[in-house]
Chain A
């Protein structure tokens, strides 16, 4: 299944500055594993040392949060978009 992963600004330094990456995967977990095997530096920003998705990074399939779907087992289909949305705090850059 060809899907698109949207990379947030904060993580683009780890994906060769790409704003989105296409990949083939059947589940969200598989897509993220492919992404982090291509871009190894991204791994520590997405996963904790014991392999869980970090709690300040949310993953969406289209507009739905995977925490309310099947989490990383959420199936994806051709044309779906996975968004990685980390928390950002800026407002007045000190």
Chain B
């Protein structure tokens, strides 16, 4: 199946490898599965990477090292300290720089012969088709459901393969969607989870090596698609459990009832993916509407006055160890069975990391009859910003 479309009339296609390129790619060239033909296919290939984060880091490095002729990068974010634990294209000195700029510098120093096209933008329904059109293969390394569905739909509408990878804590998934005749993301998951069921920051986090492994699998599949070699990971969902160090494979089938690639298509153009994923209008503030709040500064001045306030920390034990406000720790999940530990006659201020879990805690406690209870607005992060910068942010 020819994925790379560059024809022999293209100036790039007609080119041969220079002496320096032959040296650079010699470990490819001496393998019959790649050889000169394969290396020229790589040189003609145009791959668009969506996301220059954890998955994008190994992807970009390996695709650039392999000599993929044109690499597009879409990302709007800047490098921050918390990225460095896993986003290995970036250095400490890159903090604050747009990711695509830092990535381009790193990748072009690795391989100056490659054309890099950077797009510092959010991928949207308005720009996706225009961005994708020029590329042979799209690699999805994003971190959210709306963009995943957008990438899928744009790939289906344009007939481009979508090399998919996704991670959560120490578990990964990878496959190739929309390979000719194969299933798409909507065949696998017709709908995203409602925002309320997406794991909260308490359950978030990721082992730094995990995106490295999953991103490297995506890079391998991308290169195989370009070469037309081996068995692509299409029609198979690879599941990886890093803790057990266990790979499993599940069969993926094309869903005849799929709304975008099935027999009776109801989606024929890109839609509003935020709305589709139920996150139009910012979910977080909606949750906290009607929840009594106290700002970090108000809390500080009341504590300084010596008011008798009970600080309830609803985070997890491992988060308490990172930093705390000397509150009583009762993780949100334990609250229903430990509610008797709380005295409803005292004033209680509940907090978590950012204020979302503690809003749920306040809501629960109000329903349980607590009246003198407030949510610390913005959580321990806001406390660090507004009251005590010595409290580390995580």
- The answer to whether B168 and A9 have CB atoms under 8 Å apart is yes
Q: Is the CB of A13 within 8 A of B168?
A: no
Check A86/B142 contact, CB under 8 A, given A9-B168, A10-B168: no
Residue of A nearest to B173 (CB): A88
- Asked whether A91 lies within 8 Å of B55 as measured between CB atoms, the reply is yes
Using A85-B239, A91-B51, A94-B143 as known contacts, say yes or no to A65 and B169 having CB atoms under 8 A apart: no
On chain B, the residues within 8 Å of A54 by CB distance are 193, 197
Q: Report B-chain residues with C-beta under 8 Å of the C-beta of A67.
A: 255
Interface string of A23-59 (1 = CB under 8 A from B): 0000000000000000000001100000000111010
Whether A93 pairs with B143 at a CB distance below 8 angstroms is: yes
Chain B residues in 8 Å Cβ range of A56 = 189, 191-193
Question: Is B237 interfacial (CB-CB < 8 Å)?
Answer: yes
Binary per-residue interface labels of chain B (107-145) against chain A in the complex, 1 for a CB within 8 Å, 0 otherwise:
000000000000000000000000000000000111111
Contact B250 A63 (CB under 8 A): yes
Classify chain B's interface size: 35 or more
CB-nearest residue of chain A relative to B206? A93
* Chain A residues within 8 Å of B53, by CB: 91-93
The CA-CA distance from A92 to B143 in the complex, in Å, is 5
Known contacts A58-B188, A64-B251, A85-B239; A90 and B193 CB within 8 A of each other? no
Write out the residue numbers on chain A whose beta carbons fall within 8 Å of the beta carbon of B197: 44-45, 54
Q: Which residues of A contact B31 (CB under 8 A)?
A: none
**Which chain A positions have C-beta within 8 A of B165?**
91
Q: Is the CB of B168 within 8 A of A55?
A: no
Closest residue of chain A to B255 (Cβ to Cβ) is A67
A16 CB to closest chain B CB, in angstroms? 11
- How close is A88's CB to chain B, nearest CB, in angstroms? 4
Contact indicator B189/A91 (Cβ below 8 Å): no
Q: Are A91 and B253 in contact (CB under 8 A)?
A: no
Q: Which of A8, A10, A87, A89 contacts B143 (CB 8 A)?
A: A89
B250 touches A87 (CB 8 A): no
Given the known interface contacts A88-B166, A89-B142, A94-B143, the answer about A60 and B250 at a Cβ–Cβ threshold of 8 Å is yes
Contact residues in B for A88 (Cβ distance below 8 Å): 166-168, 171, 173
Q: Give bound CA distance, A83 to B190, whole Å.
A: 18
Complex CA gap A65/B189 in Å reads 12
When distances are taken between beta carbons in the complex, the residues of chain B under 8 Å from A83 are 239, 248, 250
B364 within 8 A of A: no
Residues of B within 8 A of A87 (CB): 145, 166, 188-189, 192-193
Given contacts A65-B250, A88-B166, A92-B53, 6 further A-B contacts (CB under 8 A): A88-B171, A89-B145, A91-B140, A92-B141, A93-B143, A94-B143
Give chain B's interface residues, CB within 8 Å of chain A. 51-56, 77, 83, 87, 140-145, 148, 165-171, 173, 188-193, 197-199, 203-206, 211, 237, 239, 241, 243-244, 248-253, 255, 333
Rank and list the top 4 A-B pairs by shortest CB-CB distance, nearest first: A92-B53, A88-B168, A55-B191, A9-B171
7 A/B residue pairs, CB under 8 Å, sorted by A: A56-B191, A58-B188, A83-B248, A89-B166, A91-B141, A91-B165, A92-B56
